[in-house]
Amino acid sequence: MPELPEVETTRQGLLVALEGQVLQDVEVRVPALRFPLPADMATRLAGRTVTGIDRRAKYMLVALDDGQVLLIHLGMSGRMRVFAAGADRPPLEKHDHVIFQTDSGAEIRFNDTRRFGAMDLMAADEINSHPLLRDLGPEPLGNEFSGPVLAARLEGRRTPIKAALLDQKVVAGLGNIYVCEALYHANLSPRRSAHTVQGVRAERLVQAIRDVLRQAIAAGGSSLRDFRHADGELGYFQHHFAVYGRESEPCPRCAATQKATGCIRRLVQSGRSTFYCSRWQR
Active site residues per annotation: 2-3, 58, 272
The residues with which 275 forms a beta bridge, in sequence order, are: 266
Residue 41 in contact with residue 100, Cβ under 8 Å? no
Closest of 36, 2, 50, 45 to residue 173, by C-alpha: 2
Q: What is the C-alpha to C-alpha distance for residues 78 and 14, in angstroms, rounded to an integer?
A: 14
Which residues contact residue 250 at a Cβ distance below 8 angstroms, ignoring those fewer than 6 apart?
260, 261, 262, 263, 264
The residues with which 108 forms a beta bridge, in sequence order, are: 82, 100
What does the radius of gyration of the chain's CA atoms come to, in whole angstroms?
Answer: 20
Question: Which is it for strands 107-111 and 79-83: parallel, antiparallel or unpaired?
Answer: antiparallel
| 183-213 exposure pattern, b = at least 16 Cβ within 10 A, e = fewer | bbbbebbbbbebeebbeebbbbbbebbeebb
Beta strands in 31-183 (DSSP E): 50-56, 59-64, 68-73, 79-83, 96-102, 107-111, 118-123
Question: How many residues can be counted in the chain?
Answer: 282
CA distances from 214 to 40, 76, 206 (A): 38, 22, 12
